[in-house]
Amino acid sequence: MATVVSVSDGGIIVGKPKWRPLENEGNLALLLLLPTVALLLMFIAYPFVRGILLAVTNSKVGVIGDFVGFENFARLLKDPIFHAVVYNTFLYTFVTTVFKLILGLWLALLLNRDFKFKAFTRAFILLPFIVPTVLACFAWKWMFDPTFSVINWMLFKLGIVAAGAGVNWLGDGDMAMLSIMIVNIWRGVPFFAISLMAGLQTISPDLGEAAAIDGAKPLQRFWYITWPLLMPVTMVVVLFSVIQTFSDFQIVYVMTGGGPANATHLFATYAYQLGIGTGLLSQGAAVSLAMFPLLFAIVIFQLMYIRRVETR
C-alpha cells in the first residue's frame, strides 16, 4: 500500500518504502494519548483502586491489616451515625441545589438585561465563588457566633429576638444544618448565575421578540421559549453542582466539624473523621466508597437526560 512508485525513463522502479511508524494514525494516536493515560492512572485509577483495597481490609494507621471482605460495609449499615450521614447528605444536596438553581436563575435573568455598570456587576457577583472557601467559612462562622455575631445583633436590633436570647446558629443540630446550607447556597449561587447567564446569551433575542409578537406575555415567553432552550445548560450546571455538593467537605469541616453531635456530618466529613481523625483507615475508605454508587446513579441519570435534551 505504502510503496513508492517512481517513473524513470525506460521502466518503472518500485522503491522500498521508508519505515515511518508515526505516519500510521493508530500508532500516533496511542503515543499522543500516553501522557493523559499515565496521569489518569496515577491520580484517578490508583487512588480509586487503593480506596477499594483499603475498604475490604481492617487497616488502621500503622497497621496494614487483613482482608475482611464486606465487614466494613456491613458495620456501616448498622451504624446510626452513617444513617444520619446519608440522610444529611441527601437533604443538604437537594435543598441547596434547589435554592442555588432558583436564585442563580433569577440572578442570571437580571444580569442578562442591559443596565449601567453591567460588566462590573457581573464580575462582582462572582466574589463568593472566588474567595477561598475556608476563609469565607471562617467569616461565616464568626457571623453565626451565638454571642457576638452580626446576624444575632441585627435580629436583636430589629426586635426579632430578645437580648441574650440570640439564635444558637451552630450549636443546635437543625440550626447548624440550616447554617451550612446557607453558606453553601451563598457560595454556589454565583456559579449558577454566571453559567446560566452564559446559557441565556446563546439564546437569540429574536426568539423572544418573535414570541412577543406571537402574543406571549413575559412569563409565557420564559416558560415556552427561554426555559426549554436553557435546559441543556441548566442540566449540566445542576449535574456539576450535585457532584460538588454531594461530596462537600470544606464548609462543614470549618463551620461545624460535623457537629453538634454528628448532626451535620456528610459523607466526606464522616469519612475523614473515621479514617484520619480516629485512624480507622479502612472504615473511612468504606464511607467514601459508599458515596460512589449513589453519586454514580445520579450522574448516569442526569447524563442520560442531557443526551435526550440535546438530541431532540
Q: Would residue 21 be called left, alpha or beta, if left means φ above 0 and alpha means ψ between -120 and 50 degrees?
A: alpha
- Residue 190, preceding peptide bond in cis (omega within 30° of 0): no
β-bridge mates for residue 12, sequence order: 7
- Give me 240's grid cell: 456539576
Which of 23, 209 has the CB closer to other proteins?
Answer: 209
Shortest Å, Cβ 113 to other proteins: 16
Judged by CB, which is closer to other proteins: 216, or 263?
Answer: 216
Q: Is 228 in the site for other proteins (CB under 8 A)?
A: yes
CB of 112 to other proteins, least distance (A): 17
Find the angle CA(56)-CA(285)-CA(48) to the nearest 5 degrees.
Answer: 85
Kindly state the smallest distance separating residue 206's Cβ from other proteins, in Å.
4
C-beta of residue 67 within 8 angstroms of C-beta of residue 56: yes
> Could you identify the residue written with the cell 439564546?
203
How many residues in the shown chain lie near other proteins by CB under 8 A?
18
Question: Do 72 and 302 touch, CB atoms closer than 8 A?
Answer: no
Q: Tell me the per-residue interface mask from 188 to 227 with other proteins, x by CB under 8 A, - otherwise.
A: ----------------x-xx-xxxxxxxxx--x---xx--
**CB 240, min distance to other proteins, A:** 23
Indicate whether 310 belongs to the interface with other proteins (CB under 8 A). Answer: no
For residues 86 and 88, what is the distance between their CA atoms, to the nearest angstrom?
5
Q: Are 129 and 187 in contact (CB under 8 A)?
A: yes
Q: Is 181 in the site for other proteins (CB under 8 A)?
A: no
Nearest-approach distance from CB 121 to other proteins, in angstroms: 19
Interface residues toward other proteins, by CB under 8 A: 204, 206-207, 209-217, 220, 224-225, 228-229, 312
